[in-house]
Amino acid sequence: MGAGFAGLEVVKRLADTGAEVILVDRRNHHLFQPLLYQVATAALSPADIATPIRSIVSEYDNVHVVLGEVDSVDLASRHLCYGDEEIGYDWLILAAGATHTYFGNDAWEDRAPGLKTLDEALDIRRRVLMAFEEAEMEGDPEARVAKLTFVVVGAGPTGVEMAGALREIAAETFPRDFRRVDTSTARIILVEGADRVLPGMSEKASRQAKEHLENLGVEVRLDTMVTDMDEEGLVAGGERLEAANVIWAAGVQGARVGSTLQVPLDREGRVRVEPDCSIPGYPHAFVVGDQAAQVDARTGEPVPGVAQGAIQMGEFVGRIIADELKHGTDPQRRPAFTYRDKGSMATIGRARAVADVGAFTFNGISAWLLWSVVHVAFLVGYRNKALVMIHWAWQWLIQSRGARLITGMPEPDVERPVDLSRRDAA
């Protein structure tokens, strides 16, 4: 269950097996998470990066889609619970993904939203756009600076891409829209606990990404941990920062349902799986994607929590099951999962990116073109591919962002009304 990259790959392999496949997901859409930050920064609309699950699998007659959330799994009796009901299964594939972790500081969640779902992306978009609106109406200079200070915690791909896009909005999209505040003064601070940005990539890529970020005007703080957070700001590396908006791109944790399995989880709450991705002791139950703590059988390195890892695990397990269903292959003879690193990349604003492909590191425009092509290629559905390309072309040409909508606010709560005495200051 789970209709992310891993889950859909499994379903695809089982399409022609004659097996009855039930695909359970708590959302009705597959989400292309790598572009979620573009929804959060008003570059794309939610529908551009999401596809209804039912329409993805409509050609597979043996696949049933169920909208719902699995509460727990009983591996011994091969049942899963869901609402008040139980479903039995012969084979189980868990692909429920990962969520954020605030490292024990759950109180920070409301203050510093993460970016894993469309609703979270829309929440961040609303907060970001409101910050500029409120700054425009703010009379007190100090409070205005705080409203225009954004802290992004975590410099993995999501954090780096968010920080770059925020800075770009502030410096390039918004200046002509606002009269009183100079939005280009907005501070974007990227805080990372490790000693480099993009710790999952090559050192060269990290260095280049940091350079790109700093050229854009993002303040990068390495070796810096967030130790406290309140309504007005946070403490990072011992320094107090007044910031109205904090975006959390730091910790991930395996989906909650993993804890109901009664099997060992790793420190991030992911299920420790066998080399064949099955759960130890349960050869017919698999975990794939971000929810699995898997290592590459060849190198012993952990498989990274990226789309490629999920797709490859899904493909691997789907093949094993299809094979055993069709040929009655002995589960003892399953192969071990190996990860093929097809490269990793991150984009920093318009036409800047870094990419590691094999031993090569690409930088600048070439990396950005590569990034664009790869992301469009992996989007599900031709409609979304076409739309995303059009949006990007448009933004590239006129430097505007079309999805600058504040929604989900039935009663706009503008705390500080316009201060007329300062209206001419712009």
Q: Is 128 helix (H, G, I), strand (E, B) or coil?
A: helix
Distance from the Cα of residue 351 to its chain's centroid = 21
Of 101 and 278, nearer to a second copy (C-beta) is: 101
Distance from the Cα of residue 272 to its chain's centroid = 22
Written in H, E and C, the secondary structure of 43-93 is CCCHHHCEEEHHHHCCCCCCEEEEECCCCEEECCCCEEEECCEEEECCCEE
Place of tokens 């031993």: 359
CB of 17 to a second copy, least distance (A): 17
CB of 154 to a second copy, least distance (A): 22
Q: How many whole angstroms separate alpha carbon 329 and alpha carbon 89?
A: 19
Per DSSP, the residues of 313-375 read: HHHHHHHHHHHHHHH---GGGPPPP------EEEE-STT-EEEEETTEEEEHHHHHHHHHHHH
Q: How many whole angstroms separate alpha carbon 69 and alpha carbon 42?
A: 29
The dihedral of CA 40, 46, 48, 54: what is its sign? positive
Is 151:230 a contact under the CB 8 Å cutoff? no
Q: How many whole angstroms separate alpha carbon 310 and alpha carbon 199?
A: 19
CB of 383 to a second copy, least distance (A): 5
Is 395:401 a contact under the CB 8 Å cutoff? yes
Of 176 and 298, nearer to a second copy (C-beta) is: 176
Of 113 and 193, nearer to a second copy (C-beta) is: 113
Active site residue 203: no
Amino acid symbol at 223: D
What is the torsion angle, in degrees rounded to the nearest 10, for the CA atoms of residue 31, residue 34, residue 40 and residue 42?
Answer: -100
Of 107 and 393, nearer to a second copy (C-beta) is: 393
Of 24 and 247, nearer to a second copy (C-beta) is: 24
CB of 350 to a second copy, least distance (A): 17
Of 50 and 163, nearer to a second copy (C-beta) is: 50
Q: Is 23 helix (H, G, I), strand (E, B) or coil?
A: strand
CB of 61 to a second copy, least distance (A): 8
Residues binding a second copy (CB under 8 A): 20, 22, 26-29, 45-48, 50, 52, 54-55, 58, 64-69, 82-85, 87, 118-119, 122, 129, 133, 136-137, 176-180, 381, 383-384, 386-387, 390, 394, 400, 402-412, 414-420, 423
Of 189 and 380, nearer to a second copy (C-beta) is: 380
Catalytic residue among 161, 192, 315, 324: 161
CB of 76 to a second copy, least distance (A): 20
Q: H/E element holding 286? A: strand 282-287
Of 133 and 182, nearer to a second copy (C-beta) is: 133
| 42: CB partners within 8 A, 6+ apart | 125, 128, 129, 169, 401, 402, 403, 404, 405
Place of tokens 């090569």: 360
In whole angstroms, how large is the CA radius of gyration of the chain? 23
Joined together, the tokens standing for residue 343 give 């490269």
CB of 127 to a second copy, least distance (A): 13
CB of 402 to a second copy, least distance (A): 5
Active site residues: 161
